[in-house]
């Protein structure tokens, strides 16, 4: 704001007086607005009349309206772009050689931000203020604009933007551990520091966002450079003299901080703030950690120094021009040094050819950063998270709301008291029947004698009655009627369910039982007989999909007998459903029962001879059993029935490869590629394909949802195929020609492929423990090659003998090569062999290729879970479920994460996880986990509901009965507690700790175990 003074007679121009300055934030224009109005305060400059206003008078302000002809950004740019804010707070514990007296110094910090173009965009923070120690910087304090032409005090503060600090432990930097607290307190209170408090903003267009995200995933650490540059006073002489002074200005105390940017790739994370150590800037170290070749200050040093004159008005966002030749010379020089010199790059002189003495002095200066423990506090904030975080829907607090409707079960009373009561009822029923028979035979005689019967007559009647009962068969009927009640007493009262070890033990038990039965008979004969009618119990029906899930869980737990029961039950219910036969056949492949698998696949084919998958699987089994003539018939029939089927042509080509028929092999692969390309072209023309983040996905399908028979992707692998799998980079570099020419021009590779015979190799059952971790189905995306599509099909049906062969072709295919999915498959195969080191190595490769793939983190969690590292497994599982897109198989991710929460006694988290699992894919294990969490939270009603649902789905789970026993004991229901405890013992609960807990609660409440 200027005031124009009246022009005097002798003056040529009017005099102007600067009254104050106001700063208008133009950020709304970047956010999509084309006009906005704002009221900004006017800050008086030094000596302005506005400074003399009374303290009670309201501060002057300006009403400003800003408008543009059209929006600066399109809707797509706003949606796909982002706003980066970098706040440099301070550098603490700076070297003691930094003193406020002497030559004036400019303390500068800079970093580079990837842009959409080839060159990075530099951000500079200049004019840091060196302060002595003694007190802590106030919090909150305002952030400042990073521009140098603000003259009015107070105008450089950004409105509504403050540095608020926070606990050290919540920072993402390096000095955030409890042992660092004392050093941080001393540094930020007592030692010297350099204060900037500047916030710099940078708009990232969609291309820059993608580049930014890729740079973070590739480099992880970003260099933030710091230096001290002497301030240069502009001379009054010639310009040439000034330039000479500039050339002699040294760049001293050149340090670098390595900022870990990876947290910005976490789902939902928009801000990182922390303290980062400052290290000497050494070329080789910086390149090793950050892959950065150019130094922001040294390679652009002249531009920085030229803008460093006292009184100069510069913008830190002015982009310097970097010569391409300078970059090339730098890279070439670094390469020559690293190859020809035996000394490390850290000790080599920099490019400015400083004398040796000056270089040694500079190394001494650089080490002062390390000796002083210098660190900078930096904040990096994005307007939108790079990886959006899914907002989980609210789950019902009570388990009962999520239980699917089913007919209520009739509550049966059981236990020792009930079986004794049933015995009494049977005694009374038999005694009444005997009395009726006695009355029929001797009723008239007794009436005539009027009850005066001598002992001889009574004994004679007794013999006649016994004779009649034996002759009529009623005695045998009475014995059978009583037999069931006696058996229940043996089981419920005496808990005898197994055979006796010796005859003496049997005789002793019979004597004890006889005494008990006679005593109870005497009790029953003196009681009235109640009328108790038991209602029928409705049958609990499970769907075919539930049975499929239960079978899969049994496979994961290596309970193959139970899995077989579930598969066979599906077949009994729907014997005409060929999908059930295919599922059972895939399970038989998993257990290496190839003959039964072949029988199942052929049964499915008999139900529908035009079913392509049945034909292909029959062909696969024929190859595994070395019946090659039948295999050729099956594969060729499949290609005839469905000529557009890519997998059919590819499997036919693999068959011809085994037969060393190269010509037909090339034909089949060529036809498969042709059909795949035709399908992609058709989908492009109909608009069914979208490009999302550089990957083609079928928008009409969305994420792949597993149907019946395709949820099992677990498989077994034995011998690897040598260098084809272990050296993917080498093989990929060997071939970028079409596969036909590769196989013809490189006979050694063709011979190696031909020698990879597909034969059944027995695997130890121990390796199947990992098979649940191998369920890997990518989201529904169009594969780039025929081989990757075939790999997915083979993995679904556990035909892993083919997988390595197809992976070798994937490496040789021009459109293929190592990919995230490729490394995931390799990791899964090594996980099966329990080669956890190799599996982890391949998972790291997969993560580098697709850092945001939830399948990578899910498989990492399984790896750490199987190796016993539950802390890392928990972190991976939590990251997996926080992604917007689910992993392909979430069931066991939820189960294992819930299990870890239960182990760590985080019962509330376990309850939420199991609730999600119950909603997605309810099973006995999901309800058991939920019931366990509710029981530990002392939510007895919810626990009983969940455990009852688990018991309804599988009443052969000993752990479910154990927790039902605990719930019944806590609820004070003796009969239910005894019944649940009986089945816990009968099913042989393996958890001794849980069994001891049941005994402790039984002793506490005084019931629950009828044996004491």
pLDDT tens sequence across 694-710:
333 333 223 223 333 33
**Cβ atoms 94, 194 nearer than 8 A:** yes
Q: What is the pLDDT of residue 929?
A: 94
* Arithmetic mean of pLDDT, 197-218: 88
Q: Is 927 helix (H, G, I), strand (E, B) or coil?
A: helix
pLDDT tens sequence across 358-412:
455 556 666 788 888 899 999 999 998 887 754 433 333 333 343 344 455 555 5
- Which of 8 and 964 is assigned the larger pLDDT? 964
| Average pLDDT, rounded, for the chain | 76
Task: Please name every residue paired with 346 in a beta bridge, in sequence order, or none if there are none.
Answer: none
pLDDT tens sequence across 109-141:
989 888 777 778 888 888 888 888 788 888 888
d(CA 830, CA 767): 10
Q: What is the pLDDT of residue 296?
A: 81
Q: Which of 933, 859, 842 is nearest to 893 (CA)?
A: 859
pLDDT tens sequence across 576-602:
888 999 999 999 988 888 889 988 888
Q: Is the pLDDT of residue 908 over 90?
A: yes
d(CA 877, CA 888): 13
Q: What is the pLDDT of residue 380?
A: 92
Which residue reads 């509901």 in tokens?
945
**pLDDT band for position 304 (50/70/90)?**
low
pLDDT tens sequence across 622-671:
888 888 888 888 888 888 888 889 999 999 889 889 988 777 787 788 78
Cα angle vertex 269, ends 919, 918, to 5°?
A: 5
Q: What is the pLDDT of residue 898?
A: 93
Please tell me the total number of residues recorded for the chain in this structure: 1012
How would you classify the pairing of strands 2-4 and 35-41? unpaired
Q: What is the pLDDT of residue 251?
A: 62
**pLDDT band for position 496 (50/70/90)?**
confident
Q: Is the pLDDT of residue 329 over 50?
A: no
Share of the chain above pLDDT 90, in %: 15
For 842, residues 6+ apart whose C-beta sits below 8 A from its C-beta are 823, 824, 826, 827, 830
Q: Is the pLDDT of residue 964 over 90?
A: yes
DSSP state of 800: G
Q: What is the pLDDT of residue 927?
A: 93
Helix or strand run (H / E) with residue 790: helix 786-796
DSSP state of 534: P
d(CA 418, CA 37): 83
Q: Is the pLDDT of residue 96 over 60?
A: yes
Q: Which of 561, 599, 601 is nearest to 578 (CA)?
A: 601
End-to-end alpha-carbon separation of the chain, Å?
96
Task: Show the tokens assigned to 482.
Answer: 């009583």
d(CA 322, CA 333): 17
Q: Is the pLDDT of residue 82 over 80?
A: yes
**pLDDT band for position 4 (50/70/90)?**
confident
Task: Show the tokens assigned to 625.
Answer: 């059993």
For 268, residues 6+ apart whose C-beta sits below 8 A from its C-beta are 385, 387, 388, 389, 882
Q: Is the pLDDT of residue 935 over 90?
A: yes
Q: How many CB atoms lie within 10 A of CB 458?
A: 10
Q: Is the pLDDT of residue 958 over 70?
A: yes
Helix or strand run (H / E) with residue 4: strand 2-4
**pLDDT band for position 249 (50/70/90)?**
very low
Q: Is the pLDDT of residue 514 over 60?
A: yes
Task: Show the tokens assigned to 959.
Answer: 């752990």
Q: What is the pLDDT of residue 538?
A: 53
What is the pTM (predicted TM-score) of this model? 0.49
Across 3-12, 234-243, 370-379, 545-554, least confident range: 234-243
Q: Is 111 helix (H, G, I), strand (E, B) or coil?
A: strand
d(CA 941, CA 331): 70
Q: Give the sign of the dihedral formed by CA 615, CA 616, CA 622, CA 625.
A: negative
């Amino acid at each position: 704001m200027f005031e124009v003074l009246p022009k005097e007679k002798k003056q040529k121009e009017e005099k102007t007086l600067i009254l104050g300055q106001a700063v208008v934030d133009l950020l709304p224009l970047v956010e999509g607005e084309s006009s906005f109005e704002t009221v900004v305060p006017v800050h008086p400059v030094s000596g302005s009349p506005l400074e003399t206003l009374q303290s009670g008078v309201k501060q002057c302000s300006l009403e400003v309206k800003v408008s543009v002809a059209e929006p600066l950004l399109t809707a797509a740019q706003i949606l796909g772009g982002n706003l980066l804010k970098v706040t440099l707070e301070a550098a603490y514990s700076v070297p003691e050689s930094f003193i406020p007296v002497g030559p004036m110094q400019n303390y500068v910090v800079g970093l580079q931000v990837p842009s959409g173009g080839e060159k990075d965009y530099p951000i500079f923070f200049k004019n840091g203020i060196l302060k002595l120690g003694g007190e802590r910087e106030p919090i909150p304090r305002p952030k400042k604009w990073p521009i140098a032409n603000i003259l009015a005090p107070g105008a450089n503060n950004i409105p509504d933007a403050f540095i608020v600090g926070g606990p050290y432990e919540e920072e993402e930097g390096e000095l955030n551990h409890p042992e660092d607290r004392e050093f941080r307190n001393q540094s930020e209170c007592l030692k010297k520091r350099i204060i900037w408090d500047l916030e710099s903003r940078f708009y990232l267009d969609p291309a820059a966002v993608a580049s930014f995200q890729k740079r973070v995933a590739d480099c992880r650490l970003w260099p933030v450079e710091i230096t001290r540059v002497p301030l240069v006073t502009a001379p009054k002489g010639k310009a040439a003299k000034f330039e000479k002074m500039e050339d002699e200005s040294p760049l001293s105390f050149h340090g670098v901080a390595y900022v870990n940017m990876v947290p910005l790739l976490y789902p939902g994370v928009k801000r990182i703030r922390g303290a980062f150590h400052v290290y000497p800037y050494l070329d080789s170290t910086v390149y090793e950690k950050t892959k950065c070749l150019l130094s922001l200050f040294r390679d652009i040093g002249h531009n920085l120094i030229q803008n460093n004159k006292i009184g100069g008005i510069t913008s830190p966002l002015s982009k310097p021009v970097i010569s391409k030749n300078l970059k090339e010379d730098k890279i070439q020089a670094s390469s020559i040094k690293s190859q020809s010199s035996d000394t490390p790059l850290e000790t080599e002189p920099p490019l400015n050819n400083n004398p040796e003495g000056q270089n040694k002095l500079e190394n001494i200066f650089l080490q002062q950063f390390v000796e002083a423990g210098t660190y900078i506090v930096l904040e990096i904030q994005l307007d939108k998270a790079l990886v959006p975080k899914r907002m989980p829907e609210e789950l019902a607090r009570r388990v009962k709301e999520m239980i699917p409707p089913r007919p209520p079960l009739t509550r049966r009373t059981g236990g020792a008291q009930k079986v004794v009561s049933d015995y009494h009822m049977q005694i009374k029923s038999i005694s009444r029947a005997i009395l009726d028979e006695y009355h029929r035979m001797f009723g008239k005689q007794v009436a005539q004698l009027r009850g005066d019967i001598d002992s001889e007559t009574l004994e004679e009647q007794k013999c006649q009655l016994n004779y009649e009962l034996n002759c009529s068969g009623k005695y045998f009927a009475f014995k059978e009627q009583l037999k069931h009640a006696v058996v229940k007493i043996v089981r419920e009262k005496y808990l005898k369910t197994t055979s006796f070890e010796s005859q003496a033990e049997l005789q002793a038990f019979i004597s004890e039982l006889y005494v008990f039965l006679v005593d109870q008979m005497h009790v029953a004969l003196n009681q009235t007989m109640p009328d108790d009618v038991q209602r029928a119990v409705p049958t609990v029906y499970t769907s075919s999909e539930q049975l499929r899930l239960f079978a899969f869980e049994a496979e994961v737990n290596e309970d193959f007998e139970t899995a077989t029961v579930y598969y066979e039950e599906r077949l009994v219910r729907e014997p005409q459903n060929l999908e059930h036969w295919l599922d059972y056949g895939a399970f038989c492949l998993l257990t290496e029962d190839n003959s039964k698998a072949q029988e199942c696949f052929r049964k499915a084919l008999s139900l529908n001879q035009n079913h392509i998958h049945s034909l292909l699987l029959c062909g696969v089994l024929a190859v595994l059993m070395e019946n090659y003539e039948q295999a050729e018939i099956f594969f060729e029939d499949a290609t005839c029935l469905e000529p557009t089927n890519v997998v059919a042509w590819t499997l036919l080509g693999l068959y011809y490869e085994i037969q060393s028929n190269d010509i037909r092999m090339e034909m089949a692969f060529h036809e498969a590629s042709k059909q795949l390309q035709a399908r992609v072209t058709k989908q492009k023309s109909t608009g069914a394909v979208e490009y999302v983040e550089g990957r083609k996905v079928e928008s009409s399908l969305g994420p792949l949802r597993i149907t019946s028979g395709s949820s099992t992707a677990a498989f077994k692998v034995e011998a690897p195929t040598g260098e084809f799998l272990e050296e993917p980079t080498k093989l990929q570099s060997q071939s970028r020609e079409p596969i036909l020419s590769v196989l013809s021009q490189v006979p050694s590779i063709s011979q190696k492929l031909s020698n990879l015979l597909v034969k059944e190799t027995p695997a130890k059952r121990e390796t199947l423990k990992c098979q649940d971790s191998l369920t890997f189905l990518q989201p529904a995306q169009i594969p780039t090659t025929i081989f990757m599509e075939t790999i997915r099909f083979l993995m679904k049906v556990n035909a892993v003998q083919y997988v390595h062969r197809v992976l070798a072709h994937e490496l040789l295919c021009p459109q293929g090569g190592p990919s995230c999915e490729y490394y995931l498959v390799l990791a899964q195969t090594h996980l099966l062999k329990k080669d956890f080191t190799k599996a982890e190595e391949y998972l790291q490769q997969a993560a580098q290729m697709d850092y945001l793939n939830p399948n990578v983190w899910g498989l990492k969690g399984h790896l750490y879970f199987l190796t016993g590292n539950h802390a890392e497994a928990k972190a991976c599982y939590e990251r997996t479920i926080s992604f917007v897109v689910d992993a392909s198989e979430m069931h066991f991710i939820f189960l294992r994460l819930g299990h870890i929460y239960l182990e760590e006694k985080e019962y509330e988290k376990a309850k939420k996880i199991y609730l999600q699992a119950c909603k997605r894919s309810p099973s006995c294990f999901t309800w058991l986990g939920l019931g366990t969490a509710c029981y530990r939270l002392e939510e007895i009603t919810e626990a009983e509901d969940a455990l009852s649902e688990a018991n309804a789905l599988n009443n052969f789970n000993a752990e479910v009965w154990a927790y039902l026993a605990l719930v019944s004991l806590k609820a004070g229901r003796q009969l239910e507690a005894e019944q649940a405890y009986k089945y816990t013992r009968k099913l042989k609960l393996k958890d001794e700790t849980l069994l001891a807990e049941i005994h402790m609660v039984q002793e506490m409440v005084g019931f629950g175990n009828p044996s004491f």
